[in-house]
């Protein structure tokens, strides 16, 4: 009976005061939409400000118009279109998987949180904890060819590697050794409380990444069939499992700030969780293997997200690949 009285009273109110009811409904809908909108913004693109003194790459118009400048411009071309010169159908040599250096070092190594070259000149030669040796810049380029480009090494004394170094050194001019740079490497995202989930990541890939990188992650070749417009994310022509991008933390931070197309540090399109999960999915797919038995001999320097043992702790390879990393980090203290 009580329910019936309520229904009857409501009906009378609606009949006598239809205008008031309409206004109430409009207010409810407006509040609901605003709440949903603010919640969405908070999750995906909460305000992220780039410091006013953040590093900016020098303008390419300042490259000198002389022989030194010619080498710098040639180096930039090689880094942007590496496969044209060193890919499976390269004009100089057939050494790499078909990817370009610029696929990981976006916009010629000038973009924030996209593996830019800002601090390279100031910090190389430097101690490589992976190899346990002092590594010159030519050695770092060697590593990229062997790991990210899953190939062989060009002559480090040859004109091409010297040109690459000339460009990398030019873009890092003015940076002081040891200076902490905003936007270098990739962003270190907050750890998830649970392991990154490849199954959830697959859903993100299908909705956000497939349109460019292909349903099977095969990428999209350019019209010349020599280089990739959108690089392969797994398979024979992608980076091997010795590359820095195979560490899920590196890939998640890269994706968060640069993917899908149009995303930036200030305007990301994925939540942190989506970035972790899609990175987990991508790195769960098959790719070339690289012999890493000589890597990370000093176990205490091995990154927490390096997915191959042995380790200085008792966590499994699966845990080191997908997390949760917060628990492991706490155990290291």
Q: Give residue-wise pLDDT tens across range 303-313.
A: 999 999 999 99
Domain shared by 328 and 202, yes or no: yes
Provide the domain count of the chain: 2
Domain shared by 80 and 158, yes or no: yes
Looking at the domain assignment, is residue 297 inside a domain?
no
Nearest to 241 by CA among 287, 310, 285: 287
Q: Where does 24-125 show beta strands of DSSP type E?
A: none
The string of pLDDT tens digits covering residues 67-117 is 999 999 999 999 999 999 999 999 999 999 999 999 999 999 999 999 999
Secondary element (H or E) of residue 42 = helix 18-44
pLDDT given at position 86: 98
DSSP string across 234-279: SSTTS--TTSGGGSHHHHHHHHHHH-STT--SSS-SS-HHHHHHHH
Domain shared by 167 and 221, yes or no: no
pLDDT greater than 60 at residue 3: no
pLDDT given at position 331: 87
Q: What is the pTM of this model?
A: 0.86
pLDDT greater than 50 at residue 168: yes
Residue 47 — pLDDT band, cuts 50, 70, 90? confident
Q: Give me the CATH number covering residue 93.
A: 1.10.760.10
Looking at the domain assignment, is residue 51 inside a domain?
no
**Both structure tokens of 43:** 């999750």
Domain shared by 166 and 205, yes or no: no
Domain containing 157: what range? Answer: 60-171
Token pair 């605003």: residue: 34
Token pair 């008031």: residue: 20
The neighbouring-strand residues paired with 46 are: none
pLDDT given at position 44: 60
CA quadruple 285, 282, 233, 78: dihedral positive or negative? negative
Secondary element (H or E) of residue 312 = none
């Amino acid at each position: 009976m009580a329910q019936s009285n309520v229904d009857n009273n409501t009906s009378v109110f609606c009949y006598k005061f239809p205008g008031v009811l309409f206004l109430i409904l409009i207010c409810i809908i407006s509040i609901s939409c605003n709440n949903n909108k603010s919640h969405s913004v908070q999750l995906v693109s909460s305000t992220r400000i780039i410091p006013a003194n953040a590093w900016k790459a020098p303008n390419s118009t300042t490259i000198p118009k002389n022989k030194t400048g010619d080498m710098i411009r040639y180096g930039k071309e090689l880094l942007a279109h590496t496969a044209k010169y060193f890919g499976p159908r390269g004009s100089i040599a057939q050494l790499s998987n078909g990817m370009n250096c610029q696929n990981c070092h976006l916009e010629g190594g000038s973009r924030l949180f996209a593996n830019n070259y800002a601090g390279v000149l100031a910090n190389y030669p430097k101690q490589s904890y992976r190899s346990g040796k002092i590594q010159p810049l030519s050695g770092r380029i060697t590593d990229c060819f062997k790991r990210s480009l899953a190939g062989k090494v060009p002559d480090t004394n040859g004109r091409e590697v010297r040109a690459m170094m000339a460009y990398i050194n030019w873009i890092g001019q003015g940076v002081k050794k040891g200076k902490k740079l905003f936007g270098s490497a990739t962003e270190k995202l907050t750890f998830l409380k649970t392991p990154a989930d490849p199954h959830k990541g697959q859903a993100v890939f299908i909705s956000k990444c497939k349109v460019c990188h292909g349903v099977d992650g095969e990428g999209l070749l350019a019209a010349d069939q020599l280089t990739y417009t959108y690089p392969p994310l797994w398979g024979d022509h992608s980076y091997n499992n010795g590359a820095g991008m195979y560490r899920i933390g590196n890939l998640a931070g890269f994706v968060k700030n640069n993917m899908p197309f149009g995303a930036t540090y200030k305007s990301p399109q994925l939540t942190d969780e989506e970035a972790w999960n899609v990175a987990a999915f991508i790195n769960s797919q098959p790719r070339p293997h690289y012999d890493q038995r000589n890597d990370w001999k000093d176990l205490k320097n091995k990154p927490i997200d390096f997915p191959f043992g042995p380790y200085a702790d008792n966590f499994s390879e699966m845990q080191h690949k997908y997390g949760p990393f917060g628990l492991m980090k706490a155990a290291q203290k």
